[in-house]
Amino acid sequence: MQKILKQVENKKIFDVLIIGSGAAGNSLALQLPKTMSVGLISKTELHEGSTYYAQGGISAVLSKIDSINQHVEDTMEAGAGLCKEDIVKAVAKDSKAIIEWLLEQGVKFTKNESGSSDKLHLTKEGGHTHPRIVHAADKTGEAIQDSLINKVKKQSNIELFTHHVAIDLITKKSKDSAQKKCVGSYILNKKNNQINIFKAKFVVLATGGANKVYLYTSNPDTSSGDGIAMAYRAGCDIANMEFMQFHPTCLFHHKAKSFLISESLRGEGGKLLLPNGDSFMHKYDSRGVLAPRDIVARAIDSEMKINGFDYVLLDISHKKSSFIKKRFPNIYKKCLEFNIDITKTAMPVVPATHYTCGGINIDINARTNIKNLYAIGEVAHSGLHGANRMASNSLLECIFFSKKVLEDIKKYKNEKHEDIRNLLENNKDKKVSEEVIIKHSWKEIRTLMWNYVGIVRTNERLLKAKIRISIFKREVEESFDKNIISSDLIELRNLIYIAEIIITSALTRRESRGLHYNLDYPKINDKAEDTIINIGVKNNIKLYQEK
Ligand code: FAD
Ligand code: SIN
């Protein structure tokens, strides 16, 4: 990319450039000192991203019967040996303060029933031994985004750029160390298709997950892994990308686009049944429908494959109709649009990709291995989730690490802007790539990932997928050089990089652990190790070629 750029003027200069306006990006923007200039970039509308669709809630240790130790233990148990204990402890310890901060921002969480009580209602979800989930009915994400965005819009040091897409990071060699330094990003303005340089002392990637690389996902279209792909191309370490989480229960309906049915519905008594009405989860785990997600998703996948079912059933109709309508207004309303009245009947559900447990490797301060480049939220791998994220720990992580970036940036008060050559992409001599080619490749890649790199994997399928993806990669890089860079082309390129990273990571792990299940290596290794992929280091590729 940088080779083909031509010289023009810089457009924007900030102290901090935040790419992504979900829970992670917005909470950081709000906390940064008002003396700092902040650029906040969003690919579409400001609210759009996974955060807005979060249903279940945020886990926090608030109840007397609960403890930080128990939250840590549950998270580590779900994470199957790969959680970093110091991170888990720090996040669980901070959970109460995080909820208090959100309340200060005006988030209206659901309170306990008894009229006089101002205590927050806590629900249960998979893997949690105690009721620990703070929520705003079944629209927690919307409540958070509404409050944070309301405040972000009023803060004069924050400049907002909606419908702007980050293409790549700009890095240069550091004067004082061998480490590269991030000094900005190339940003496409979707409204006029111009590419600008946004220069900053500190760049923060908060671009969310990569779940759109699969055909069926609970995620919105923004989750195309852009931040992970950009960081990988810039030389960041990318960790544990084989651990893609499938949510067990998305609505099965041809018009529903994988609408999520929250795990909290099972937390409030929802039952999982086969289409003939038989229950089955007790065969797989003593915790039944509230076992961690990897177990429930694999159990459903297995029952569907063995019996040839298209779906299983999730039933809460035994509960009072008034309770269901009040506790799950969003799910009730959405299902009714598809003629499913959940107060009277069970809903058909299937698993779909939901959460990217791996990502850009960060330390406790959210620093990446590139200087002045941070990553927070779903785009990052902090070590909190290990091989399988426990429900409702993700929003917590977004806010925890936004606080960490703030603390870290404060240490570098004297940081200066770097001189960078004023380079800008010139789109003039290029032709427009055909939309039909982009759309077709998109669908092929997502279908390939669904069929070959899904819930249950084999070496043969992974290797076949690797070969196919390498062909797409050659084509897209060629297209990127020759054609006008559009938002769709940027996403397609990123999806291909993400597919390559997931497959390489999956081939590197020679065991089954947490969310990664390979029939050729069904056992778990004694030693739990992270998979680290770096564009400059090819060792991991050697590992599976040697076999
Ligand atoms: P997001 O909220 O996804 O925001 C990403 C931002 O980055 C967006 O603004 C997007 O426009 C921007 N962006 C992306 N690429 C670019 C680019 N190239 N250039 C510019 N901008 C870009 N977690 C929980 O803890 N509890 C829950 O109850 C829960 N429920 C969920 C329900 C659903 C349906 C889904 C999909 C997820 C749920 N999760 C839940 C997970 C959680 O919502 C996400 O992990 C979390 O919100 C991620 O926040 P984020 O800020 O990292 O990213
Ligand atoms: C849900 O409500 O089931 C999603 C919770 C999560 O992903 O953390």
Ligand nearest to the CA of 46: 1
pLDDT in tens, 167-209: 999 998 877 777 899 999 999 999 988 888 999 999 999 999 9
From 132, 266, 293, 509, active-site residue: 293
* Side chain identity, residue 342: I
- Between CA 200 and CA 416 the distance in angstroms is 9
Report the nearest atom of ligand 2 relative to the CA of 245: 7
pLDDT at position 4: 37
542 pLDDT above the threshold of 60: no
> What DSSP state is assigned to residue 27?
H
Token pair of 236 as six digits = 């960041």
75 CB near ligand 1 (under 6 Å): no
pLDDT score of 423: 53
pLDDT digits (tens, 9 = 90+) for 96-116: 999 999 999 999 999 998 655
Confidence of residue 275 (pLDDT cuts 50, 70, 90): very high
Is 229 buried (19+), middle (13-18) or exposed (0-12) by CB count in 10 A?
buried
392 CB near ligand 2 (under 6 Å): yes
pLDDT band at 436 (very low <50, low <70, confident <90, very high): confident
Average per-residue pLDDT in the chain? 92
Mean pLDDT of 152-178: 92
Q: How far is the C-alpha of 226 from the C-alpha of 375, rounded, in Å?
A: 12
In whole angstroms, give the CA distance from residue 165 to residue 226.
Answer: 9
pLDDT of residue 194: 87
Pocket test for ligand 1, best of 1, 48, 51 (most atoms within 8 A of CB): 51
- Compute, in angstroms, the gap from residue 16 CA to the centroid of ligand 2: 31
Cβ atoms 301, 456 nearer than 8 A: yes
Contact between 60 and 99 under an 8 Å Cβ cutoff? The reply is: yes
Residue 231: is its pLDDT beyond 90?
A: yes
Token code pair at residue 514:
């947490």
* Residue 309 burial class via C-beta count within 10 angstroms: exposed 0-12, middle 13-18, buried 19 and up: middle
Residue 541 in this model has a pLDDT that exceeds 90? no
- Condensed to tens digits (0 to 9), the pLDDT of residues 368-421 reads 999 999 999 999 999 999 999 999 999 999 999 999 999 999 998 888 888 776
- For the stretch 315-346, pLDDT in tens is 999 999 999 999 999 999 999 999 999 999 99
Tabulate helix, strand, coil % of the chain (nearest 5): 40, 20, 40
Residue 3 has pLDDT above 50, yes or no: no
DSSP single-letter state for residue 213:
G
Residue matched to tokens 């990988």: 232
506 vs 126: which has the higher pLDDT: 506
Whole-angstrom distance, CA of residue 424 vs CA of residue 195: 7
Contact (Cβ atoms closer than 8 angstroms) between residue 118 and residue 159: no
**Residue 293: active-site member:** yes
What confidence category does residue 117 fall into, taking pLDDT thresholds of 50, 70 and 90?
A: low
